[in-house]
Amino acid sequence: MSLTLHFHPLASFCWKPLIALYENATPFNPVIVDLGDERSRAAFLKISPSGKMPALHDDARRRTVLESTIVIEYLATHYPGPVELIPADTDLAIAVRQADRFYDFYVQEPMQKIVGDRLRPPNKADPFGVVEAREQLRNSYAIIEEEMRGKTWAVGEIFTMADCSASPALFYANKVEPFGDKYPAVKRFHDRLLERPSFARVIEEAQPYFKLFPYNNG
């Protein structure tokens, strides 16, 4: 088996390449990284000196690829499958990449700010930063609400890398700043993502770790 994915089942950015791998039934060897374990951490730092996950190692090409978006781009280039996660059409591919960046920067990042603050010692908390992050999430929900009216997936009627990005972003964002009734199109999109077999599998595999999530409400 040529591909090995180093990841943690709870990490939102690790969910993106997992979804991509499952979408195309791409064979790979999963290696769970525990940064709290000295041996696991030391072994992973040899692969990813920054300590950032996910990391994809390809034995056949003698290549290690870091960052979730780049991992999916690499898979689409060298291990394509029936689901075209990066469309061949140039303009559509640009739309996919733009949506991917939106979900990473304007949904994932503020969500992680809120979660990270919950993990800080009380005297190191950043309440103003959390208020800003919540406002950013609500602004992002409003944008998605307009974008998703009449759409099935993030860029139209085909499932792409943008949906791999939207899936964990919206899942965790809804935990820390619930959609409520104000964003029905966002909720419908989120529900469709939850029903996608690849994403359902990722969530199922993460279940044993959800107790570690500080906003654990289901």
CATH number at residue 69: 3.40.30.10
- Model pLDDT for residues 4-29, shown as the tens digit of each residue: 999 999 999 999 999 999 999 999 99
Number of folded domains that form the chain: 2
Question: Where in the sequence is the domain holding 42, given as residue range(s)?
Answer: 3-78
CB 52 within 8 A of CB 6: no
For 159, phi then psi, to 5°, come to -80, 125
Considering the entire predicted model, what is its pTM? 0.94
Q: Note the pLDDT of residue 218.
A: 40
Task: Say if 85 falls within a structural domain.
Answer: no
Task: Say if 209 falls within a structural domain.
Answer: no
Task: Say if 213 falls within a structural domain.
Answer: no
Structure tokens at 32: 């769970």
Average pLDDT score over the chain: 94
- Model pLDDT for residues 132-158, shown as the tens digit of each residue: 999 999 999 999 999 999 999 999 999
Task: Say if 207 falls within a structural domain.
Answer: no
